[in-house]
Amino acid sequence: MANYKKEDARAWARQNMLGCSAVTIPTFTSDLKNLNEKAIRFDVQKALDLGYTYTLLCAEVAITPEENAQYTAWAKDTVGDKMKLIFHAAFGTLADNIHAAKLAEKAGADMVLLAYPPQFWPSTEQEIYDYTKEFCDSTTMGVMIFPIPMWGFERVHPAGMSLNFVRKLLKDIPNIVAIKSEQGYPLIGGVCEMFYHFNKEVVISCPIESDAIPLMGFMNLQFSGTSNTQWMSDYYPKAFALAQKGQFEKAMELYWQVNPARGAHNVATQAYFGGAGVLNRTMWKYQDWLAGFNGGPLRAPAMRIPDRFMKSLRAGLVASHLPVTDDPDHLFMVGRHPA
């Protein structure tokens, strides 16, 4: 449960949203009937051990609000106060997200990343505003809003969420504490605009590590998340900390070291993302497994990862001199802690 009052959410975020956030994808038992507790605890602990200060408990998989709360409770019991937990408001309806948020907060979530369901098809800014405000009003947790093209809001405004629209949200909704800014992705215009106008009001997050580290030569970013950078082990928390301390040249040395892995990830992502408008969580889970996380099956419907991308992602880690398992790829679907 959030350890701050709703009216103090922005002050809490300014003080506590520090460092980098991983993404933890839940693991299921081999029959897909239940959650795999040992695997979930293992993955959350590994993210903490790599230096991540937050993790997003990904709900963009086939999981119920009640299972999500159980998953949150295990994560909280595993890491305690050493890592903050982000509830993923990615369920199918506004009502489901409100219900799931209440359960997750009781189970130990600290804040929210607000997504929008595929069935939500607004044609005006007012509709986006109403959805956002109703959700935020329903929770005492701080909320990180998330402008990104995959919601399809560009039919309303070319930026998806325009400058004036974001300004109104921040004025009217006091528990919006951060902006995960990806307007215009893969361009950097959105994060630059949000930082310029709102950095003193709320935390501005640039979750794309390939943008964040170079931008930190010019921007004082305090937090970056959420994204699956943990597949590159402890590279990102280390590089982010170096850049924050003003050791930009050392941060950029690490940045270029991992460029082969980054390139392999970008090629695999671009192969599907433009037309799908949804992230391939199976690919993300495979990437994590390469780096020593649990792996394991996801419930249907789930996207597949082609063998050619498995090979290129593995090769990218090798070329970047990052940790990578020697285990053969077929063990990915078994997982390191099967149940």
Q: Which residue has the tokens 């607000």?
A: 114
Residue 178 lies in a domain: yes
| The predicted structure's pLDDT at residue 272 | 86
Residue 322 lies in a domain: no
Distance CA 263, CA 313 (A): 9
Which conformational region is residue 96 in: left (phi greater than 0), alpha (psi within -120 to 50 degrees), or beta?
alpha
Q: Is 191 helix (H, G, I), strand (E, B) or coil?
A: helix
Q: How far, in whole angstroms, is CA 5 from its chain's centroid? A: 24
Residue 329 lies in a domain: no
pLDDT, one tens digit for every residue, the chain (339 residues)? 688 999 999 999 999 999 999 999 999 999 999 999 999 999 999 999 999 999 999 999 999 999 999 999 999 999 999 999 999 999 999 999 999 999 999 999 999 999 999 999 999 999 999 999 999 999 999 999 999 999 999 999 999 999 999 999 999 999 999 999 999 999 999 999 999 999 999 999 999 999 999 999 999 999 999 999 999 999 999 999 999 999 999 999 999 999 999 999 999 999 887 777 789 999 999 999 999 999 999 999 999 999 999 999 999 999 999 999 999 999 999 999 999
* Residue 134, number of CB atoms within 10 A of its CB: 13
Residue 297 lies in a domain: no
Residue 160 lies in a domain: yes
Q: Taking Cα atoms as reference points, which of 165, 168, 173, 175 lies closest to residue 141?
A: 175
Residue 283 lies in a domain: no
Residue 287 lies in a domain: no
* Burial classification of residue 93, based on how many CB atoms lie within 10 Å of its CB (0-12 exposed, 13-18 middle, 19 or more buried): exposed
| The predicted structure's pLDDT at residue 71 | 97
How is 264-278 classified by DSSP, letter by letter? HHHHHHHTTHHHH-S
CATH code of the domain containing 232: 3.20.20.70
Whole-model pTM: value is 0.97
**Structural domains counted in the chain:** 1
Residue 276 lies in a domain: no
Its domain, for residue 58, covers 6-246
CB 24 within 8 A of CB 227: no
| The predicted structure's pLDDT at residue 2 | 84
Q: Give the strands of the sheet with 84-89, arranged side by side.
A: 203-205, 176-180, 142-145, 111-114, 84-89, 54-57, 19-24, 223-224
Non-local CB neighbours of 180 within 8 Å, separated by 6+ positions: 113, 144, 145, 146, 147, 148, 205, 207, 225, 226
